[in-house]
Structures are given as structure tokens and as C-alpha cells.
């Protein structure tokens, strides 16, 4: 397996590349972005037909009958057929067509969408429908590439290019239902791209899986047998939303059939199709797709006893004990008997490890600010307090490559043309005028030499916080001087200096390179240590370990003083988030997070900093210095405020820190009690992730 992208982006080509003069279609990255997807409203087909293929659509963008399109101003790289196996999923189909046509036209792809519809009482057979679709499509035109697409998979990012390469290209590398990561390395379900040559080389899909499941495992085994690699787009691009629907019953004896795949590889597939296998009831060129309505014959495609008896499954009595849906049987199938018992031992050890490391300390929750969750007679509705509606807060597309200049941002957010009730006040402050905010929030950004990151963050943060009706001020605490960066001490200084200006209920400690994606990730504090970054793209949209509190942390003023703030001794990158996690644990505080679908962040790419020297050793002494190292250790000798300026978009606090005043002492190291409670990162003595 490997992550890669087709070589179609002009930014990757040298200036004298011959392709620039060949007239071939090329793309620009900035023209293809993450798109917001409305999963609850699907346009009716006649509205879609008018919007995509109607007479008012410009001729060069209008779909041709049969759901075909080709760019008119360049030569496409491939002729692509999108195959959708279908039965009784009209809502899903309308959602998919609405998204698919718009995306493929932006990608300048010559394509046709085929909807292969199964009729009759037989169980659904996705593999056979895909085979039939390929055979029937090649009667109409010559296609270089086939995209085998589940009807309930809606692509999110336009930069996930629908083209084939020399590999089996699995396009769905991050599905929301699977927490935006791949279940296992050779998973080829949901959306698969394969060239016509490769599809015939592996004899297509199997025809014997009647019902849900296993046909994707089977084609994965076929590609592996043929020596083909699996390529995927990066998880930040290969993102899909799954349309919710009742789960189908898994195919009976599907795993047993799969164990016999090698015995029937060359007898069960494309070459087993015949007129007796299926009948085409109709073939219609609809405005948005070519509909192929077929009736499949189950009698012609059943598993035979010879296949089962001749397969390698005689030695698989061990594997058959694990025919539950979650066990990866194909891995078991390739192992020796001794290896299987070793795998069982490892599996049980992991369970024991998970049980002993389970923590009830963490929970997923959202602030109680959404009016949909309140009863009709709730007193808060008449109190004038600020409340939110979920449908007004959506996932937003983030352009990570273009950050507006500060003066443009100031005009757009705080200029005289901005309505008074939405205009920022000097110092980067804002408060809703039509309701009483729940908390007064200070957003603390530790900063040094990251201007591009800061502009990206401010552009996103102000727009999001105003939609959330939050009374807030953004503080940028800038470190000057030659000393190594000290994020923890900068946050402590920011809190002390901010409280000289106003009384704040809640502090948000925000990394400058973390850009929030979802407006419903509400920036408020609760009684816990609230970790807002529950899904970061750099970490494949999940949390590294349960007590991780890095990136973006929300904590009430009361709780922050209760734990004595951050440590001041970590000069350089790393460990200050482990330290504050240990402090919150010592104080008996829970960790709350938004659900991973809401607590999503993009990390601005930058060179990785060198990890702090002896950082893990310092962390092991956290308990010895807990009450001596933090907010109460700050003094005028610890830092000096060089300037405090109320800028249009933020309050800038420029400080010089004293390293001499905040060093680890030998007494702390010798008196440390490192054994009882450590965070996971220190147990592993980890390196930068």
C-alpha cells in the first residue's frame, strides 16, 4: 500500500514540461477544495437535470444524454466509466449524482456514469452487477478506467482525482463512519478505481456473493495474487461521508466462500458471465446517467462443493472459529498453524492491556447551548441568554494555502463597512448585541515567527466565534529574544496579563497552527479540562492517546488557577501538554471532548521543531514541582512585557522570558515520584509524531 496522487497538478511540473504545450488537461490545486456536504437534503431528479443538463447550462458544462461529459478546451487523460450498483436507494443516488457530476467536471475528466440496477427477488449481488456493468458499458464505448462506486459514499474533497493508475487505486482512504481512517491495509471497499487492463487481468469481481459483504475481500485477494499494489489518496483528500441507512444482513457463509477464492479465481468472474447468467431488461440514456436494468440468475452462480473441497480451507478449522464480521480472516488464512496461535496470544494480550489502560476519565460531550435539545417550556428561552441552532453551524471548507494579508482581514472583519453588530472592537474583541453570552472567553495564542499561520487562524477563528455568539478576546502572546520557545510559560503570562484588562471566565489555549474546521465545535469551558482538538488531520483524525491535551485546550479560570497553570521549565518543543494533563489528573478533573466529527482541525504544515532535550526526564519530576512551578512562580524577574497593543484583530502582548529563573533543579529530579502516574507518551519515551 502507498499514498499517492495522479500526476495531473501543474504545480508539480517543471516550467519546461512538454505536457504544458500538448493540450492535455491539467489541474491547479487551489481550484479544487474540500466541499461542505448536506447529507439531509437531496434535490429531486428533475431539479438536478435542469441544473446539470438543462438548456440554461453553458454548452461546455452541460451533460450529454446518458450522464456523459468531456472537457472542450483540453484533451482528457483517460475515458472513465463510473459504475454504481443500485437497488431501491433513490435518496442515496440523488445525493451522489448531485455531488459526483459537479466534482468530475471540476477535475476535467471525460466520463460516463452507469447505474446498474438489479431487479427481481434475488439477494443483492454487488460483484456481479459490477461485472455486468463493465461488459455492457464496453458495448457502448471504449473505457480506459472503471470506478466501482457504492451509492452511499459521497466524496468530500474535489482534489480526490477520479483517475486510474497501474495499481488497484482505493479512493476511499478516510470514511466518516470509520472515524476517517482505513479499517485494514488491504481494504478495497466503498470506492475502487481500476484500469480496464487490470480488471480483465484479475477476472473482475466474484459472482457468488449474494447479499452484503465479502466481495471486496475477494477482489483484494485477487489483486494481491496478481502482484498489484494498492494506492490511495492521502486521508485528508480521500474523504467520504456515508449516507446513513439500516445495515444489511451479512451474507450467509460468506467467509467460508471467501476461503475458497483461490480455487475458483479463474472460473468465477468476468469469464463466467453469459446470457444465461443475466438478462438486460432495459438500457436507457437518462439525462444524468445511463441506466442498465438487469435480472441476475442465482442458479448459474452458486458456490460448488468442489471449490470448497479443493481450496486451501481444509487447514482453516482454526480460522472458522472466528467467522465474526470483525476478524480479518484473510490474514488468518495466510498464516501457519503456529502463527495463528501466536496471533491469538497477541490478541488476548492486547485485550488485557486495553482493560488495564481503560480510563473512565474521558468522555465525549457538547455544551448545552443548542435550542433543539431544550424542552419547549425551558426558562432559558425567555432569559435572553445566547442559544444556537445546529443547522446554522456547519463544516467549513478550509483553504490552507492562501492566507489573506492582515490589512485585508482588518477591512473584512473590523472595517467601517462591516455592520456594527458584527464589527470587531480594538484588541480583537467581540460580543453579541442581541443576547446575553454565557461566558467571557479569552483565546490565548503562543506565537513566534509564524505570520502565515496566524493570518490563517485569525481569518477562521473570528468568523467561527461570531457565529457561536461568544463574547471573546483574542490574545497573541509573542516571545522575543534568543531563548528557546516556551509555550507553557507564554500561556501563563498571557493569563496573568489578560486578567489585568478584564475578568475572563474561560481560557482557550490555542496552537497557532491548528485551524478549526467545524463551526459546531463550541469554544466554551465546562467543569472539566475540555480538549477541543479531538480529530486532527495530521493524526488521521483521531486522538493519539486518551489523556492527550495538546493543540487546543479550554479551561475555566477557576480550574486553571487550581492546577497552578502550565509548567514554566519546558524550553523547546514538547512535554508541556503531558505535564498539564498530569496536573489535571492529579486534581481529579475529567477530560471532555467534542465528538470527532465536530472537533476537527487542520494542521498548517511546517518544519518539525527539535524535541526538548531531557524533556521526558523533566516530566518525570512533575509531581515534585507541581506547586512550585507554574502561575505562582511568575514574577517580574521571570518575564518583562515589552509592549501591549490593541491591534484591530487581536491584543498583542510582546514579552521577553527569563530562562535563568525557570530551570529544573536537582532536588526536583531526586525527589520525583515517577512511578505512579504517567501519560502514555512518556511511558513510550516517544519521539515526535
Three-state SS for 411-437 is: HHHHCCCCCHHHCCECCCEECCCCCEC
Residue found under cell 529530579: 669
Q: 274-293, pLDDT tens digit by residue?
A: 766 899 999 999 999 999 99
pLDDT at position 323 is 45
pLDDT at 477 over 50: yes
User: With bands split at pLDDT 50, 70 and 90, how would you rate the model's confidence at 404?
Assistant: very high
Mean pLDDT over 383-404 rounds to 90
> What are the residues facing 170 on neighbouring strands?
192
402-406, 603-607, 614-618: which has the minimum mean pLDDT?
614-618
- The three cell numbers locating residue 536: 486532527
Torsion of CA 408, 411, 417, 423, to 10 degrees: 130
| Helix-strand-coil split of the chain, %, nearest 5 | 30, 20, 50
- The three cell numbers locating residue 678: 504517567
Q: How far apart are CA 94 and CA 109, in angstroms?
A: 21
| SS3 category, 328 | coil
pLDDT at 554 over 80: yes
pLDDT at position 421 is 92
Phi–psi pair at 29, nearest 5 degrees: -60, -40
pLDDT at 21 over 80: no
pLDDT at 110 over 90: yes
pLDDT at position 250 is 58
- The three cell numbers locating residue 220: 483484494
Q: How far apart are CA 502 and CA 455, in angstroms?
A: 25
Q: How far apart are CA 684 and CA 33, in angstroms?
A: 37
Q: How far apart are CA 247 and CA 263, in angstroms?
A: 30
Q: How far apart are CA 183 and CA 1, in angstroms?
A: 13
Phi-psi region of 651 (alpha: psi -120 to 50; beta: other; left: phi over 0): beta
Least Cα distance to 33 among 160, 173, 175, 169 occurs for: 160
Q: 659-672, pLDDT tens digit by residue?
A: 876 565 555 555 55
User: With bands split at pLDDT 50, 70 and 90, how would you rate the model's confidence at 689?
Assistant: very low
Domain annotation for the chain: domains and CATH numbers? 57-315 (3.90.550.10), 402-409+416-683 (3.90.550.10)
| SS3 category, 89 | coil
Average pLDDT taken over every residue of the chain: 85
Residue found under cell 434475488: 122
pLDDT at 392 over 50: yes
Mean pLDDT over 459-479 rounds to 97
**Residue 651's Cα: distance from chain center in Å?**
32
Least Cα distance to 566 among 552, 548, 584 occurs for: 584
Residues 6 or more apart in contact with residue 476 via CB below 8 angstroms: 445, 447, 454, 650, 651, 652, 653
Q: Using only the alpha carbons of the chain, give its radius of gyration.
A: 29
Residue 115 near residue 284 (C-beta atoms within 8 A): no
Angle CA 227–232–233, to nearest 5: 155
Q: How far apart are CA 583 and CA 586, in angstroms?
A: 5
- Sequence-ordered strand ranges (E) for 28-156: 68-69, 79-86, 110-119, 145-149, 153-155
Mean pLDDT over 413-425 rounds to 93
Mean pLDDT over 523-552 rounds to 90
**Residue 570's Cα: distance from chain center in Å?**
31
Q: 622-657, pLDDT tens digit by residue?
A: 777 888 888 988 886 689 999 999 999 999 999 999
Provide the whole-model pTM.
Answer: 0.54
pLDDT at position 688 is 33
Share of the chain above pLDDT 90, in %: 56
pLDDT at position 251 is 61
pLDDT at position 181 is 79
Mean pLDDT over 101-119 rounds to 96
Top pLDDT among 560 and 608 is at 560
pLDDT at position 685 is 37
Amino acid at each position: 500500500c502507498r499514498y499517492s496522487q495522479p500526476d495531473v497538478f501543474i504545480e508539480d511540473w517543471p516550467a519546461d514540461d512538454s505536457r504544458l504545450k500538448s493540450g492535455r488537461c491539467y489541474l491547479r490545486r487551489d481550484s479544487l477544495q474540500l466541499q461542505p456536504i448536506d447529507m439531509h437534503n437531496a434535490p429531486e431528479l428533475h431539479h438536478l437535470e435542469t441544473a446539470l443538463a438543462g438548456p440554461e447550462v453553458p454548452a461546455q458544462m452541460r451533460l450529454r444524454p446518458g450522464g456523459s461529459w468531456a472537457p472542450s478546451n483540453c484533451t482528457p487523460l483517460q475515458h472513465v466509466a463510473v459504475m454504481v450498483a443500485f437497488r431501491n436507494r433513490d435518496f442515496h443516488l440523488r445525493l451522489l449524482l448531485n455531488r459526483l457530476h459537479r466534482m468530475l467536471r471540476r477535475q476535467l475528466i471525460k466520463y460516463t456514469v452507469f447505474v446498474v440496477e438489479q431487479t427481481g427477488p434475488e439477494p443483492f449481488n454487488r460483484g456481479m452487477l459490477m461485472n455486468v456493468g463493465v461488459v455492457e458499458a464496453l458495448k457502448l464505448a471504449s473505457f480506459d478506467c472503471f470506478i466501482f462506486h457504492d451509492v452511499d459514499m459521497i466524496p468530500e474533497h474535489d482534489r480526490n482525482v477520479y483517475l486510474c493508475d497501474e495499481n488497484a487505486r482505493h479512493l476511499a482512504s478516510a470514511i466518516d463512519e470509520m472515524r476517517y481512517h482505513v479499517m485494514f491495509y488491504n481494504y478495497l471497499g466503498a470506492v475502487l478505481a481500476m484500469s480496464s487492463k487490470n480488471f480483465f487481468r484479475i477476472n473482475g469481481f466474484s459472482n457468488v456473493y449474494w447479499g452484503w459483504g465479502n466481495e471486496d475481500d475477494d477482489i483484494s485477494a485477487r489483486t494481491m495474487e496478481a502482484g498489484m499494489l494498492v494506492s490511495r489518496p492521502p486521508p485528508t483528500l480521500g474523504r467520504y461521508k456515508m449516507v446513513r441507512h439500516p445495515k444489511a444482513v451479512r451474507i450467509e457463509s460468506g467467509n467460508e466462500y471467501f476461503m475458497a477464492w483461490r480455487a475458483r479465481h479463474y472460473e468465477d468472474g468476468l469469464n463466467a458471465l453469459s446470457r444465461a447468467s443475466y438478462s438486460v431488461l432495459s438500457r436507457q440514456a437518462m439525462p444524468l446517467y445511463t441506466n442498465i436494468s438487469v435480472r441476475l440468475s442465482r442458479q448459474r452462480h452458486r458456490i460448488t462443493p468442489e471449490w470448497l473441497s479443493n481450496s486451501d480451507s481444509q487447514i482453516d478449522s482454526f480460522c472458522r472459529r472466528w467467522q465474526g464480521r470483525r476478524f480479518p480472516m484473510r490474514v488468518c488464512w495466510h498464516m501457519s498453524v503456529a502463527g495463528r496461535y501466536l496471533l491469538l496470544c497477541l490478541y488476548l494480550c492486547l485485550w488485557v492491556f486495553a482493560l488495564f489502560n481503560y480510563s473512565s476519565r474521558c468522555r465525549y460531550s457538547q455544551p448545552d447551548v443548542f435550542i433543539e435539545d431544550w424542552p419547549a417550556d425551558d426558562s432559558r428561552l425567555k432569559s435572553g441568554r445566547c442559544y444556537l441552532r445546529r443547522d446554522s453551524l456547519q463544516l467549513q471548507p478550509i483553504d490552507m494555502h492562501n492566507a489573506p494579508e492582515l490589512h485585508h482581514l482588518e477591512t473584512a472583519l473590523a472595517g467601517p463597512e462591516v455592520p456594527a453588530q458584527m464589527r470587531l472592537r480594538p484588541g480583537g474583541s467581540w460580543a453579541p448585541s442581541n443576547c446575553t453570552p454565557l461566558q467571557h472567553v479569552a483565546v490565548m495564542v503562543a506565537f513566534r515567527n509564524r505570520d502565515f499561520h496566524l493570518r490563517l487562524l485569525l481569518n477562521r477563528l473570528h468568523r467561527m466565534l461570531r457565529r457561536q455568539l461568544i463574547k471573546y478576546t483574542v490574545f497573541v502572546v509573542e516571545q522575543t529574544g534568543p531563548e528557546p520557545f516556551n509555550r507553557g510559560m507564554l500561556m501563563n503570562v498571557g493569563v496573568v496579563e489578560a486578567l489585568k484588562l478584564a475578568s475572563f471566565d474561560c481560557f482557550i489555549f490555542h496552537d497557532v497552527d491548528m485551524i478549526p474546521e467545524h463551526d459546531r465545535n463550541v469554544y466554551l469551558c465546562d467543569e472539566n479540562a475540555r480538549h477541543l482538538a479531538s480529530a486532527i488531520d495530521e493524526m488521521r483524525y483521531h486522538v493519539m492517546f486518551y489523556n492527550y491535551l495538546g493543540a487546543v485546550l479550554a479551561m475555566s479560570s477557576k480550574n486553571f488557577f487550581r492546577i497552578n497553570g502550565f509548567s514554566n521549565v519546558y524550553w523547546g518543543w514538547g512535554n508541556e501538554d503531558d505535564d498539564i494533563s498530569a496536573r489535571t489528573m492529579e486534581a481529579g478533573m475529567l477530560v471532555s471532548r467534542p465528538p470527532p466529527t465536530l472537533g476537527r482541525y487542520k494542521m498548517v504544515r511546517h518544519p518539525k521543531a527539535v524535541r526538548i532535550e531531557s524533556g521526558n526526564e523533566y516530566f518525570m519530576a512533575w509531581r515534585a514541582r507541581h506547586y512550585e512551578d507554574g502561575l505562582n512562580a511568575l514574577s517580574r524577574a521571570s518575564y518583562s512585557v515589552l509592549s501591549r497593543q490593541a491591534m484591530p484583530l487581536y491584543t498583542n502582548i510582546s514579552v521577553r522570558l527569563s530562562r535563568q529563573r525557570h530551570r529544573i533543579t536537582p532536588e526536583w529530579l531526586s525527589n520525583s515520584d515517577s512511578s505512579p502516574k504517567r501519560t502514555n507518551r512518556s511511558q513510550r519515551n516517544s519521539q515526535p509524531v
